[in-house]
A and B are shown apart, each in its own frame.
Chain A
Amino acid sequence: MNIYKLQYTDKATGDADLLSKGTYEVVTEEGVTQDVYRNGTQAIVYIGKIVEIPATYDDEGHEITLPVYYDGVFYDLMTTEEFDFGINEIFPVDCVHSFAGYEKNAEGTDIDPELEEI
């Protein structure tokens, strides 16, 4: 199994790149549009922005100061196929997202459910 960590400038760019690589297809039937995974895609997870410096909140839970985010938006792709995502592929050391049964920081090709305290 392959897990790719991806970074794009924005969601439109990310969606377009994943679509162009054939990881999913947009299907519209009888007025209902849906994204359908293709070509070995097991899951596409849109993580969105990742916080670098957390926001501050008042005691009602509202933001007082906005968080500081890393540039762009982020995706995790799990697939049986190999892709070249070029500069959009990143290699974080402390991931904010993982797949159930896989190591928190699992990424790259030929990833198996791996050394993980459970």
Chain B
Amino acid sequence: MANPSLQIGNGKFAIKENDLLGYSSSGTRFFPIPITMTRATLGTRVNPSGLIEDVELLGSEEVENGDGSSTTGWDLAYANTTLSINNNNLRATANGSGAYGLSQDLSLDTNKQYIIKATINVDNASGGAANLRIATNSNLSSNVTTLSSTTGTTTTILSPSATTMYIGIVDTANDSSNYVEIDNISVKEYTIDGLARVDYTDGTASLLVEPQRTNLITYSESISNLSSTTNGTGTLTITDNYTDSPQGLQNASRVQMSIVDTNDTNNYRLINAGSVMITGVTREISFYAKSLTGSNQDVLVYWSYDQQIVTLTNDWQRFKISATSGNSSKVFIGTRGGSGSYFSGGDANLDFALWGLQVEDDGSGGGSSYATSYIKTQGSSVTRNQDEYTKTGISDKINSEEGVLFLEVAYLTQTSPTIKEISLNDGTNSNRVALRLNTTTNQIRAIVRVGGSNQFTVQNTISNVTNYNKIALKYKENDFALWVNGVELDTDTSGSIPSGLNQLDFDEGNGASVFCGKVKQLQVFKTALSDSELATLTTI
């Protein structure tokens, strides 16, 4: 079989300088083909270790000796300061009255963002204004941004206001017994937008391409910030940052609640997730939870006018509930007595961990028929933008006389309200070779269009488009075929093919019908493969 002229994935995902690397190969040699990715917001993924993480690109370390190994690189922020290393902490000790501290100058780019991570100790400060700062002068007094005023670890994303900035710790000392310490500090260039997401939710790598979504829950992690609804005898305690979450960080909340009368509908303890439902609209509720008792526990989730009982185990699970509301209503999570109503159920005594609470809106005020990746919120609803991929100027990779477009893809939903397409095109949707998910359940479609006129168009319903399927479209004048999972589903022996194909888009070529799904591999061939080759290529 001929080598593909362009590939994405197939076990070889890479990112360089923000671009997803497609590639071509010859023997054992690989030639990178950068694919432009656009998403102006942060996104998350499941990493190879199975942990949820922000997709970010970090630069090199900007701080010298930020690990407390040496005072080299650090200067006195004020004269009456003694610098020392104490138990691998960088310590500034007051040797007179008045302010003291230490700082280090950084050369930064004002067009970039930086992530600052630091652990400090201010327990032995004066009790006044001891804090970690970044500023535009060495004694940390001009254009100050205070990063932390308490002992512990802090993380901040910063857009620098100047090319030379100073970072350090200062205190307004009263006497020479005061000192402040930096345990460790790190400043690195930080990129979050335009980064491809290679996701391992299924245990293997795939390119995660998702639509714009808004998490309507205002506190997705610090659950204690959500209100609660209680009645009758019982208890309710929420402890934030109690245990490790699916991120591997200690930021999941512990929820302890109890009622005494499981027959009394007026006895309840509920987390009130807010007014996130509207009449007649389906929205996807999702959250991660696990039991903390060592036994399975049943938890009630309800809204107007329906409910679901979810069973928590000792392992983290993501629960996904498609909820259609008959009213403008809230979503409640917890336990409630009574029977026969949609708002009763759940164990009387609950002790579980909760994290990543999410109710999704598609951005238009409408619904969401499936859950997408986690969107963190902290005091407001938050939107993650649409993922978009494009590669222009690749006429040398696409044969406008014959070829094959091949995908191994799992769509995010069996029934989509909009078309999802990947195409080889000329920058318009009038001339293109395309594979798409139709709006009909589990229906895929192949299209070859010339001058706005369809030359080959077939559609087939397959068993489940949310499973990974291998789909190939062969195009050649008067010789078209659609193959799925080793089977030739359709052919056509009449039709011309478009000329001038020079780009790959995860849409129709005109920005419409943006693709969403998980792509394990994409291949473009410059020859119309034989039936046996197509069977081999597409067999699962």
Contact = CB atoms under 8 A, between A and B. Distances in A.
A97 B304 contact: no
B229 A59 contact: yes
B145 A101 contact: no
A63 B325 CA distance: 13
A59 B113 contact: no
Contacts of B155: 117-118
Which 7 residue pairs spanning A and B have beta carbons closest together? A101-B42, A100-B42, A100-B41, A46-B365, A42-B40, A101-B192, A61-B329
Contact of B512 (A29, A98, A102): A29
Given A36-B510, A61-B343, A101-B192, A45 B383 contact: yes
B392 interface: no
Given A29-B429, A29-B512, A113-B157, A63 B380 contact: no
Interface in B241-271: 266, 268
Contacts of B383: 43, 45, 76, 97-100
Interface string A1-43: 1000000000100000000000000010100101111100011
Contacts of B42: 100-101, 113
Interface in B373-387: 375-376, 378-386
A45 B363 contact: yes
Nearest to A96: B380
A116 B114 CA distance: 11
Contacts of A54: 275
Specify the main secondary structure of chain B where it touches its partner: loop
Interface in A99-115: 99-102, 104, 112-115
B175 interface: no
A57 interface: yes
A72 interface: no
Contacts of B275: 51, 54-55, 67
Interface string A80-109: 000000000000000111111110100000
A61 B304 contact: yes
A63 B41 contact: no
A35 B376 CA distance: 26
A59 B160 CA distance: 49
A104 B379 contact: yes
A30 to B, nearest CB: 9
A42 B385 CA distance: 7
B412 interface: no
Contacts of A48: 365
Contacts of B510: 27, 36
A112 B41 CA distance: 10
Given A61-B302, A61-B303, A112-B113, 7 more contacts: A1-B193, A46-B365, A59-B229, A59-B266, A60-B343, A97-B382, A116-B156
A100 B330 contact: no
A101 B330 contact: no
Which of under 10, 10 to 19, 20 to 34, or 35 or more describes the interface residues of B? Answer: 35 or more
Interface of B: 38, 40-43, 54, 113, 145, 154-159, 190, 192-193, 212, 214, 218, 229, 231, 266, 268, 275, 302-304, 327-332, 341, 343, 363-365, 375-376, 378-386, 418-419, 429, 439, 508, 510-513
Interface of A: 1, 11, 27, 29, 32, 34-38, 42-48, 51, 54-55, 57, 59-63, 67, 76, 78, 95-102, 104, 112-118
B242 to A, nearest CB: 19
B362 to A, nearest CB: 9
Contacts of B330: 57, 61
A72 to B, nearest CB: 14
Nearest to A102: B41
A54 B218 CA distance: 15
A45 to B, nearest CB: 5
B498 to A, nearest CB: 17
A51 B157 CA distance: 30
Contacts of A37: 386, 511
A103 B332 CA distance: 28
A61 B305 CA distance: 9
Contacts of A114: 113, 157-159
A55 B278 CA distance: 14
Contact of B214 (A34, A38, A97): A97
Contacts of A76: 383
A97 B157 CA distance: 19
Contacts of A100: 41-43, 375-376, 382-385
A59 B265 CA distance: 9
A95 B365 contact: no
A62 B380 contact: no
A99 B40 contact: yes
12 contacts: A29-B512, A44-B363, A45-B212, A48-B365, A59-B268, A62-B304, A78-B40, A98-B381, A113-B192, A114-B157, A114-B158, A117-B155
